[in-house]
Amino acid sequence: MKYRSLGRTGVMVSELCLGCMNFGGPTSETDSFDMIDRALDAGVNFFDTANVYSRGGSETVVGKALQRNGKRDRIVLATKVHGRMDDDDILAAGNNRRHIIQQCDASLKRLQTDYIDLYQLHRPNPDIPIDETLRALDDLIRAGKVRYIGTSSFPSWRVLESLWVAKELGLNRFVSEQPPYHLLDRTIEREMVPMAQSYGIAIIPWSPLARGFLTGRYRRGEPIPGDSRFGRDAGGGSATLRRRDQHFTDLGFNLLDLVQAIADEKGCSASQVALAWVNSKPGITSPIIGPRTMAHLVDNLGAIEVEITAEDHARLDALAEPERATVPYYHGGMINFNPNEYAWL
């Protein structure tokens, strides 16, 4: 396992980040404990969760696991705030001071820790001035409850605006951004990655396997496996089915065929090629893996042994064009984002 600086902080994090979204939900508590221990044994020291994952269930399981193995101080623990935590409470969402401070305290209790290493805004909130949000986050840092702050799915201009406001007001600045990034959506290469490289922002990509499409489980013209991500979504609404159909196109399957062909040549899995590709791109700090089972975790960890050559990049670029999106995950600005809907998680 290699380690990279979390932006300009100097805090060294593993080249893969363990995403804990499934813990406390599809993945049982016992299996979650085992997977966390396995990731630690492999050298992963960067864990990412969020308060909305299973409405606190993920944070609770992660907290129990770290109390159980006594290794809290060995990891960089990240969580997120923004989404709705109570359907009956109009105040229980957003990037306002009240919600941020309240939810930070709740996350600390669930995680059974005195501090959060990286506290991130899960989505932008255009209705709330960024200085309101930054002041609340700065207060949490000064209180010792948070070490660093970051964003998720922010457009590059909003991140840059936040840096300017932080400088003007003498506040702690964001050190990281967590955007979607994979072979089906390379939009962040246009502005986000160059901006991040210029200003020392860590890039922590989510969904590097495109909701599991790039794992190789799906085949053109064949039924969707019932236990797969898209299989479990089969009973969803029109938005869920539209997302599936956006992936299951001729171009999508042509790209998947190429990823599988490269995997066969290297003697590895398609998911390892897709992960290694993200990990090899300029400006990337630590792709977030989101395993549901131990087998998924072991496979994902194997990606660090896979080398993506210049020839591999050229072949993939021919189908997955740089700076373009075959399936749009990254909605620049997300102006109409509804905090009740996390459609792309």
CATH number of the domain at 133, please: 3.20.20.100
Annotated catalytic residue 53: yes
pLDDT tens for 117-139 read 999 999 999 999 999 999 999 99
337 within a domain of the structure (yes/no): no
pLDDT tens for 150-201 read 999 999 999 999 999 999 999 999 999 999 999 999 999 999 999 999 999 9
Half-sphere exposure of residue 104: CA atoms within 13 angstroms, side-chain side: 29
261 within a domain of the structure (yes/no): yes
- In the predicted structure, residue 92 carries a pLDDT above the cut 90: no
336 within a domain of the structure (yes/no): no
* Domain that includes residue 96, residue range: 3-319
Q: Kindly give, in sequence order, each residue whose CB lies less than 8 Å from that of residue 228, ignoring residues fewer than 6 positions away.
A: 212, 217, 218
345 within a domain of the structure (yes/no): no
Half-sphere exposure of residue 120: CA atoms within 13 angstroms, side-chain side: 28
* Both structure tokens of 320: 């997955």
Number of structural domains the chain divides into: 1
344 within a domain of the structure (yes/no): no
300 within a domain of the structure (yes/no): yes
- In the predicted structure, residue 226 carries a pLDDT above the cut 90: no
Extended beta strands in 82-161, E state:
116-121, 146-152
Residues 53, 181, 329, 342: which is the catalytic one?
Answer: 53
276 within a domain of the structure (yes/no): yes
pLDDT tens for 24-56 read 999 999 999 999 999 999 999 999 999 999 999
The closest of 16, 13, 90, 23 to 55, measured between CA atoms, is 23
pTM of the model: 0.93
Q: Are 38 and 51 in contact (CB under 8 A)?
A: no
146 within a domain of the structure (yes/no): yes
Instruction: Give the β-pairing of 3-5 and 12-14.
Output: antiparallel
How far is Cα 31 from Cα 304, in angstroms, rounded to an integer? 23
pLDDT tens for 277-311 read 999 999 999 999 999 999 999 999 999 999 999 99
How far is Cα 317 from Cα 2, in angstroms, rounded to an integer? 26
